[in-house]
Amino acid sequence: MSNSSEMISTTPSPGRRTNPRVTPPVAGVADRPPMGDLQIGDLVFIRVTARPFLEVANATHSWTNHVGVIVDNRGDEPLIAESTFPFARTTPMTRFLERSEHGRCAIARLTVPLDEQHRSVLVKAATRRMGTFYDTGFNIGSRRQFCSRFVREVIQEATAIQLGEVETFATLLHQNPDPKLTFWRFWYFGRIPWQRHTVTPASVLRSPHLRVIFDAQGDALGAE
């Protein structure tokens, strides 16, 4: 494999902005993510307010319903690769965080450190998925993508680590005492695909292979 350190330091990720904006307050001065301490491969979790994603959070007993992965940490702010509607793209971190309800975010890092080769493969894996259409059916077997599947596959391709638990809709919804099946029947045109396999942002965040290094409800917990 080619020198990955050279690839990361000299090759801009897709969509990189040369003049990123000044970071605005997120939840408060003390609650801003530690931009300069973030690394390629860190996962950023937020809470978006579109109804389907709020229902995902409800179904998983979690505040979070969207996740992206950092693919470039040069400049004034990181660049995040994400699967979002209508297709996978990269987004400057400030814009990514602006979409989160009340500025809530958490940042998690793999418990096993990444080397330059891991980061090189990760960036390439994310780049190949750019432009892939979003899967509103949240089907892990689809040709399309959705956020938690996107980061799970990118991390797995780079490290062989599997984040999150793949589970059926039946298992996921039946674990919730208030699954709001009326919404999901509407979303799936009357027939919930009970045996469809999926993976959720909450499941990824709860992975034992990750440690939270920042939460907007508190302070940075110590980045390496």
Nearest by Cα to 101 from 201, 204, 217: 217
Reported as a pLDDT band with limits 50, 70 and 90, residue 2 is very low
Q: What is the tens place of the pLDDT at every residue in 144-180?
A: 999 999 999 999 999 999 999 999 999 998 888 777 8
Q: What is the pLDDT of residue 6?
A: 32
Evaluate if residue 12 carries a pLDDT over 60.
no
Q: Which tokens in the block code for residue 90? A: 């990269």
pTM confidence score: 0.83
Q: Which tokens in the block code for residue 55? A: 């229902």
CATH number belonging to domain 38-215: 3.90.1720.10
C-alpha span between 198 and 147 (Å, rounded): 11
Q: What is the pLDDT of residue 14?
A: 45
C-alpha span between 108 and 211 (Å, rounded): 5
Q: What is the CA radius of gyration of the chain?
A: 17
Q: What is the tens place of the pLDDT at every residue in 22-79?
A: 333 334 434 677 788 899 999 999 999 999 999 999 999 999 999 999 999 988 899 9
Q: Are strands 43-46 and 105-110 parallel, antiparallel or unpaired?
A: antiparallel
> What is the domain partition of the chain in residue ranges?
38-215
Instruction: State how far the alpha carbon of 40 is from the alpha carbons of 75, 119, 192, 202, in Å.
Output: 13, 6, 37, 21
